[in-house]
A = this chain, B = another copy of it.
Amino acid sequence: MKDLKLCQKQSPEHKTIIEVGGTKIGQDLTVIAGPCSVESEKQTVETAIGVKEGGATMLRGGAFKPRTSPYAFQGLGLEGLKILRTASRETGLPVVTEVLDPRDVSWVCEYADILQVGTRNMQNFSLLKEVGRANKPVLLKRGMHSTINEWLYCAEYILAEGNKDVILCERGIRTFETYTRNTLDLSAVQAVLELSHLPIIVDPSHATGLLSMIEPMSLAAFAAGADGITVEVHCKPEEAMCDKAQALSIPMFKRMMARINKLNECMAEIKKLPAAVEQE
């Protein structure tokens, strides 16, 4: 792992803290929640209010949707970004949203608080360089086909352009298992904690594609040491335009958050106990 100069941890305490809208990512519990895609102002604002009540610290929502088929709904684009800003104003939640094209980075920055680079674009080096020059933090999802090593090199691409604020997000890798959409690799959380100073969060919604898995995998992610999660929540899941099988309703999200909060109180206690293996 030579050449990972900027990405690499220099000491056990070395940790990047990224402050966005009052949350210190890498230090505080980070919970990013919201719809897969922005469909309407009503849907987005209603969901934002719900997740804010539930304890989310950030709002997610896609205005540009990378879809397998060219004929599938591709997102509302600029209109979607405007809706996200409205929802942000109503709730105070910062906005995380995906950018797909290097040409869009500069103007999307006017609407987004965190730029997301999706799994299919992890090695889109033009896009990485462009977000590396932006003045917004970047949430870099792991490629579904990528080793941890390659993923860190992609973070290095962003850091090398001058942007210090990169958040890594494990979202499942492709395997032969078909019960879940992908296989959530929670060992990657510990790997990142060992290798890098960058915050690491987990996306159980895309990793599993199954509603029933989101809560247990979120709890497992925090127990494994993750700095946060990002989950899909929809005010009316049955009407969602994409990924409806994996969107939590607002009541579900609130119940999950009660459990997560309890676990994280406990994890704070646990972390005071000596670790089995001291990190070097």
Contacts and interface: CB of A to CB of B under 8 A. Distances in A.
22 contacts: A66-B123, A67-B125, A70-B153, A70-B157, A70-B160, A120-B123, A145-B174, A147-B176, A174-B175, A175-B183, A176-B176, A179-B187, A186-B220, A187-B207, A187-B217, A217-B224, A219-B270, A255-B274, A259-B276, A262-B269, A263-B267, A265-B266
Counting from the closest, the 3 A-B pairs by CB-CB distance are A145-B145, A223-B223, A266-B266
Interface string A195-234: 0000000000001100111111101111111000000000
A262 B265 CA distance: 11
Contacts of A262: 266, 269-270, 273
Interface residues of A, number: 85
Contacts of A175: 173-176, 183, 185
Contacts of A69: 3, 153, 156
Contact of A185 (B66, B177, B222): B177
B149 A179 contact: yes
Contacts of A223: 216, 219-220, 222-224, 263
A183 B252 CA distance: 29
A180 B187 contact: yes
B253 A145 contact: no
Given A183-B175, A186-B220, A266-B262, A277 B211 contact: yes
Contacts of A277: 211-212, 214-215, 252
A3 B101 CA distance: 24
Contacts of A208: 187
A121 interface: yes
Interface string A223-265: 1110000000000000000000000100011011011001101
